[in-house]
Structure 1
Amino acid sequence: MRQFDYVRATAIDEAIELVAGDPGAAYLAGGTTLLDLMKDGVLSPRRIVDVTRLPLRGIDHAGGTVTVGALTTMEELAAEPTLADRVPVLRQALLAGASTQLRNMATIGGNLLQRARCRYFRDPTVGACNKRIPGSGCAAVDRSARMHAVLGADRTCIAVHASDLAVALVALDAVVRIHGPAGTRRVPLNRFYRLPGGSPQRENVLEHGELITAVDIPLPARPTASGYLKIRDRASYEFALVSVAAELDLRDGIIHDARLALGGVGTVPWRATGAERILRGGRPGRELFRDAATASLQNTFTVPGTAFKVELARRAIERALDDVSGGTS
């Protein structure tokens, strides 16, 4: 780890000024991602701006929206009773996403900004990584790539987005609040993340110096059923091979509305809008769920190590929908 300057910010505008004015500066919150990448030699910021003392922690209710401060911990959000009752998919994703020790350290804003878990991105001895060295290629395309993405991927990058929380929040139409040198803005989370395209090094829409200050989570207008299914190699703390966040508005045996997002298979948390269209207006059942699952896995990009994920994801979607609908199929 290289030497760096450490500054503890006492106000939001101060923190933004410190980072925006220095291309080599970075924010520090819980540190569960940044410090790992610094120790591995992947990131080497010249200045660390500690934002943990800023007034960005807490959970507020206003009408039909719950606003979560960016410095709220994963454990604090998992314990929030209204969300646990109204959208259990969120609590389940949080509990599946990290050990208790990490949940007590990791912040909501930091979790949404965690970097790719690609082994080649995190190993500076690997020369071909477009995230670290734009234009150098993607080692995962030609090497072992079992944990990598099949949706939103191309030959420039197949690194998977690792956050369980982000998958649930994308399904719930969450919105991030951003503050930066140019002022404040609100961005729907499903438009916050960027596909690799020609710039895999840009993983989201944040400009240098911008800071996530809060996340708005709209509560469903009527009671819904939701759940989070995570398929992984072991039951203990592990990243997803495939995950599914599902929410269904079921009334009189009809799916009036559906929200579905996938993790473990996309370069971004993947909103399955095609599947949602198929589910709306249908009766829960095996055939409907199979059609929705098929619609979710269109235009996949696979390499030999990831081809199995397509069928695994289809089956996971069918199972998740069956579980959320009460096993009606």
Structure 2
Amino acid sequence: MENRAFLSRPHQLEQKLAQWKEQAGDRLRLDYEMSYSGHKVYGITLSDWSVPQSDKVAVYAAQPHAHEPATTAGMIDVIEQLVFGRHTTGSATSLDVEKVLAKTIVTFNPIGNPLGSDRSRYDYYDGSQIPNERFWCIMFGEDPDRPGKQWHRYDVFDTREVKAPDPIGIVYEPVDDFRHVEPNRSQLSSYSRLFRRMDAQYRYLYWLDLHQTEFVNSPTQCCILLPLKDAAPQSLHEGNVAWAEEITQAWQEAGYTTISPKHTSYTGVQAEYFRQNWGKVHQRMNRITTEVKNNGADFPADKQMAAEALAIETTLRRLIG
């Protein structure tokens, strides 16, 4: 069922970009990386450029996963607020837009894997259309040797070397004729290349990493994940915790079911992917991760979008004091 305020597809982002550029003028700066598939992976930056960059704090918000569309919808909603002063639903923003733009440089990467987004059959996942077991096969592909079961999770794989699913899961991005990567686990991805390019321009101090998960058999609807334990120095860890607690409180006040912020729980190979890709980032900037419930009948698409948007809004309010 169509939700006109829930915008998560590449063609919808392109339509919005045309409107935003016309309205925002020079306040909006647009960068992109061209993916191997021919899609543009956008870095959309908003600020009041009459204020010196040295007087502002730079924050990055991004999503790498095509199967987590509320992250895109939430970012599009916040950009709409910063450009038009309204939500995508049409209601007025409560953000002090002029103060946000005067005190911050905020960059959004709303769709880190546009090919994966295009390949998805669904605009959003609310538990009404597919069970989680099938959803996980859509994400990573169905194991050729175990029908109905999720295939392996790789940082990068080569179809000449492994027996890959057909079709390959939408989480993966092709980087050449044979290799595919999970965007936030490989520096080969368009997602990673875009961040390096944007960070070279603005030297971000904050990164809000936007995700969704299924919270299977749990009433939890939202939580914040901190970096792997001991990944960040103590000063940054304390800032991450304070930031995470502020978002968690905002979610609770909005009526969402949350749990306390906790460290990312990956171990082994999956943890090593994060250390390799983001270890240096965690040593120099505050970076936390949202997890908002996906494919759950108790958390419809509009609430998923609102929860992601609220995390960004709370972050901006924190940064402008």
The two structures have a TM-score, normalised by structure 2, of 0.29
Hey, which of these two has a bigger chunk of helix by percent?
2
Q: Which has the larger radius of gyration?
A: 1
The two structures have a TM-score, normalised by structure 1, of 0.29
